[in-house]
Amino acid sequence: MLNLRIAKIFNLILFICMAFITSVSAQKVAEFKDLQFTDAHADLEAKRQESLKNLQVKIDAKWKEYEDKAASTGKIELVLLIQNLAAGKEVDAAKVPGSLKKLQASILRAKTNINKSYDNKKSELTKTQLAEVKKLIVEYTKKKEFKEAIALKGFSEKLDKGLLVSAPKVKAKAGKKKNDTKPEINKQNSFSVGSNFKLSDSIEVVSEASFTSLEGLAEGSRKAQELQKKASKKFPLEINLKKTGIIFRLIPSGDFTMENPSSEDGSDDEDQQRDSIEESFYLGKFEVTQEQWQQVMGNNPSHFKSSDSGLPVEQVSWVDCQEFIAKLEVLEGLPKGCLNLPTQAQWEYACRAGTKGDFAGDLDSVAWFKDNSDARTHRVGQKKANAWGFYEMHGNVWEWCLDWYSSDREKRVIRGGSCSDEANRCRSQYRYGIMPGSSGLFLGFRVAFQLAELK
């Protein structure tokens, strides 16, 4: 009888130990997958950037060769034309010789081929990762660890849409609850997320930030601002990156109706879908300016340059934006992955700020567009902000979003219209697709700050 009791106690201890080991193993596997996914995408993007950088060296040398040849024959006008083409500026197409047109076409093909090649590689990588995640979901489901399985399922859906997100660090059941690590505002006007990283090392709270006047804004603005006021009791209304001065405004979580334009001409589907922004996040109060771009990248690709440092940067590609964001995180000492372009759902949610019509307010008061801009960009922050305090979400420059435009994964989404566009293209729901390597006139962006990535 005694031996039987000892055997039962031993089996119980063994069962508890095995359960603990399994739980810890599950956590370690998930954390390893997270690191593997993040590093794999980062490595691929680094190789893409290196390839584009090497190509640019060859392109610059080729332009210089043509420029020197023109200079040796005394053709000054041709030299100036070549310099403008090399800088990406608009020129009179009728004045461009056939040889230079061929060079332009070959450059475009080369850039497109590189981007398409790496996009294909990324697509294959994503498929492989999706297969791995699905296996993990099956394993967690068999163990009846449904919380972990649901978290991974949500990640797999985002990964399948081509969004650059990290896999969730799935914790064992005995781990900390999600609400254990919430941002707190301290007496020094700073706040922290998690136990190992203090945002006050890289950012500061904008203590004088205030809520937007709702006068002249569209229906739904007041209710949206109430949500923002409620969220601001947990999170600061505005935060400011210390080195570059980029200001972010708080966007509360919530639901909204998102319209899906079915074609590039902006015609709308009859169907609408309810979309959910599950986590509060921050978005740039203004479009990224030329001064901020210069500080991070060391150059200014914009067509509309002036002594006014508040002009938005333009003529930047989606690929350029990713490079800017990666360098910005390093410069500001931020964790990798906490900054990115907004998804198009995040962008439209921020643009609408509770409204359901085409614009957040009277278009002439909230946007620089064809009818009032003199076909050029203007200093950010001059028009009226929407209910959540964001300026020029309509017009001024097109803004890149994170998402693919369609399932063929060839183009990325841009939103908001520009200073050269008719009102129709500046609508909250309007979107357009552009190749990620394109950097034409009026292409700009603003940055999203994802608090969820710091938890």
Domain ranges for the chain:
2-160, 178-454
pLDDT tier for residue 337 given thresholds of 50, 70 and 90: confident
Cβ-count burial 51-68 (b if 16+ within 10 Å, e if not): bbeeeeeebeeebeebbe
| Mean pLDDT of the residues in the chain | 79
Query: Which are the contacts of 250, defined by CB distance < 8 A and separation ≥ 6?
Result: 228, 231, 232, 235, 236, 237, 238, 280, 282, 388
Nearest to 251 by CA among 218, 284, 202, 220: 284
CATH of domain 178-454: 3.90.1580.10
Q: What's the CA angle centered on 228, arms 231 and 357, to 5 degrees?
A: 145
- CA dihedral sign of residues 120, 259, 155, 248: positive
pLDDT average, residue stretch 26-55: 66
pLDDT average, residue stretch 206-220: 94
Tokens 């921020």, located at residue: 350
pLDDT of residue 167: 45
**Residue 438 tokens, joined:** 């394109």
Neighbours of 246 (CB within 10 A): 24
pLDDT of residue 77: 76
Helix, strand, coil share of the chain (percent; to 5): 45, 15, 40
**Residue 263 tokens, joined:** 């074609």
Nearest to 218 by CA among 330, 403, 385, 422: 385
Alpha helices in 375-416 (DSSP H): none
pLDDT tens, residue by residue, 261-306? 444 344 443 346 667 788 899 999 999 999 999 999 999 999 998 8
More confident residue, 349 or 115: 349
**Residue 343 tokens, joined:** 């998804």
Distance CA 268, CA 270 (A): 6
Say if residues 202 and 241 touch (Cβ distance below 8 Å).
yes
Residue 316 φ/ψ, nearest 5 degrees: -120, 140
What percentage of the chain carries pLDDT values higher than 90?
A: 44
pLDDT of residue 30: 47
Model-wide pTM > 0.85: no
Say if residues 86 and 104 touch (Cβ distance below 8 Å).
no
**Residue 128 tokens, joined:** 């492989």
pLDDT average, residue stretch 118-124: 80
